[in-house]
Amino acid sequence: MEADFVIVGAGSAGCAMAYRLGEAGASVLVIEHGGTDAGPFIQMPAALSYPMNMKRYDWGYTSEPEGNLDGRELACPRGKVIGGSSSINGMVYVRGHAMDYDHWRDSGAEGWGYADVLPYFRRMETWHDGGHGGDTYWRGKTGPLHVSRGPRKNPLFKAFVEAGKQAGYEATDDYNGEKQEGFGPMEQTVHDGRRWSAANAYLRPALKRKNVEMIRALAHRVVIEEGRAVGVEVERGGTVEVIRANREVILAASSINSPKILMLSGIGPAEHLAEHGIKVIADRPGVGGNLQDHLEVYMQMAASQPITLYKHWNVVSKAVIGAQWLFFKKGMGASNQFESAAFIRSRAGIPYPDIQYHFLPIAVRYDGQAAAEGHGFQAHVGPMRSKSRGRVSLRSANPADNPKINFNYMSHPDDWEEWRRCIRLTREIFAQDAFKPFVKSEIQPGADVQSDEQIDAFVREHAESAYHPCGTCKMGRRDDKDAVVDGHGRVIGVEGLRVADSSIFPRITNGNLNAPSIMVGEKMSDHILGKDPLAASNDTPWVHPNWETEQR
């Protein structure tokens, strides 16, 4: 088994690279440990809470006990299936803010400023505004990834946006266009009523080519000879074999598994590798470090009218919705139900949004367990740029063992301050006139949770991961000891080896990570092929004119 390029991981970035490298005529072999993504649990958008909680589709990772969150072990789902996490995620599509990428560039990821990445966001998407307006100039029209908007029929979606405006915030027609800041419609990777994962968008078309193939196997380590990656050792059907790469090995195995495979291959913090008896090939202390994530809580309100999705929370209604979707790909089943969103700044002096809202017209847990009996609705909310950093490390030298994941959540004092502002600003939005006809009472945190101490206790007990781990193979300058890859994704200290997935993010982006992960796969493909990158864009995104003195 050999190919020009061996890609480990058929996730968001891996599928995009398989498509682009195959399109250029190179032979590509993709290694994926997970199985098929066929079936309604993955393909039906409204069923999103199922695949994330199925061992069959998820690596089943959890964090180590998190000291600042009452010692809880938080779930860290990662897709173990074709399409990776894009097959089990909430299908929310957020590019991130322009300033995120300028920060990448300024921190040493040369060629990754907003002007450099915007052309790739345009190249990758076909945007359907659904007649709802929006920012056509900033969007792509011909890419493999279809992006659409939900119908927003429920009056609560409109109430959320109206309440934001009444509270004095901006409105935005398209947070993925010129202006992220404000309240408006949320976008989803749904096409013709189906989840439009990286597998549907990129991998299926790629596999139709004779030069692209995929095998199911567990990648153990990268095989390195005389300082150069020459292949990948895998296990399939109980036997261990090496798959050779004639040109390069590319890791796209996630922010949890890419650093794990690097460390098992002898690339990582020398002391840590020695503890596990692994021969050090490149001492890169940054491998596994710089781990970041978004935390969120569900701010839940009891509804005074029976207009929420709770009326469908029964076997008969679910069966009807399921049948409608199976036969026609229409109806409630064809949306992830996240149809309104907001990005706001938590205080004056912050140049771009640092709080994100997903609004949902039912009060329910993400794992599909109803949290509130009866009619309610909720906003998922959390700060975007926590200063806390964690680490992924090896549990043992056995590739079958899960790595240790320590997010170190809430370890920076600023995080607590941000969270208090988050909760209070959200309450203020729910208290606006637009919600008056719909709000009965606050379910969670509950009206009695008011002081800083009470809010802190609520966060400690209830904050959950938003499932956006990243940063563990940081992209930066070659002389930065914490950088793992350079601006072309090349692993520093080893030839013929790259990493391209969310692990290379120098800092977490504003919002959900699926879109930036796919963009990384798209842009890295050009670097791998030695092509000139797409011409930089001259477009200037919107920034609040009075951000220094005004919070809204």
Query: In the structure encoding, which two tokens stand for residue 461, read together?
Result: 């007990």
| pLDDT of residue 92 exceeding 80 | yes
Q: What residues form the annotated binding site for FAD?
A: 81, 89-92
Q: Give me the phi and psi of 419, to 5 degrees please.
A: -65, -40
Pairing of strands 295-303, 282-283: unpaired
Q: Give me the phi and psi of 391, to 5 degrees please.
A: -155, 145
Render pLDDT for 540-551 as a digit per residue (tens, 0 to 9). Answer: 999 999 999 999
Strand partners, 73: none
Report the C-alpha gap between 466 and 265 in whole angstroms: 30
Tell me the whole-structure pTM to 2 decimals: 0.97
Render pLDDT for 467-523 as a digit per residue (tens, 0 to 9). Answer: 999 999 999 999 999 999 999 999 999 999 999 999 999 999 999 999 999 999 999
Peptide bond into 205 cis (omega under 30): no
Domain residue extents for the chain: 1-62+76-148+198-288+469-531, 151-185+295-383+410-462
Report the C-alpha gap between 388 and 100 in whole angstroms: 17
Sorting pLDDT into bands at 50, 70 and 90, what band is 131?
low
Residue 350, Cβ density class (10 Å: 0-12 exposed, 13-18 middle, ≥19 buried)? middle
Q: Which residue has the higher pLDDT, 43 or 312?
A: 43
Measured from the Cβ of residue 56, the count of other Cβ atoms closer than 10 Å reads: 12
Render pLDDT for 303-331 as a digit per residue (tens, 0 to 9). Answer: 999 998 888 888 888 888 888 988 889 99
Q: What's the whole-number average pLDDT of the chain? A: 95
pLDDT for the residue 235: 98
Query: In the structure encoding, which two tokens stand for residue 23, read together?
Result: 């399109």
Q: What residues form the annotated binding site?
A: 81, 89-92
| pLDDT of residue 370 exceeding 60 | no
Render pLDDT for 13-27 as a digit per residue (tens, 0 to 9). Answer: 999 999 999 999 999
Query: In the structure encoding, which two tokens stand for residue 381, read together?
Result: 């909310």
Per CATH, 1-62+76-148+198-288+469-531 and 151-185+295-383+410-462 having the same topology is answered no
Q: Which residue has 């709770």 as its token pair?
A: 310
| pLDDT of residue 365 exceeding 80 | no
Render pLDDT for 190-208 as a digit per residue (tens, 0 to 9). Answer: 999 999 999 999 999 999 9
Render pLDDT for 403-442 as a digit per residue (tens, 0 to 9). Answer: 999 999 999 999 999 999 999 999 999 999 999 999 999 9
For the question of residue 468 being annotated catalytic, the response is yes
Please identify which of the residues 468, 488, 527, 544 carries the catalytic annotation.
Answer: 468
pLDDT for the residue 371: 56
Taking the domain 151-185+295-383+410-462, which CATH number applies?
Answer: 3.30.410.40
Q: Does domain 1-62+76-148+198-288+469-531 have CATH number 3.50.50.60?
A: yes
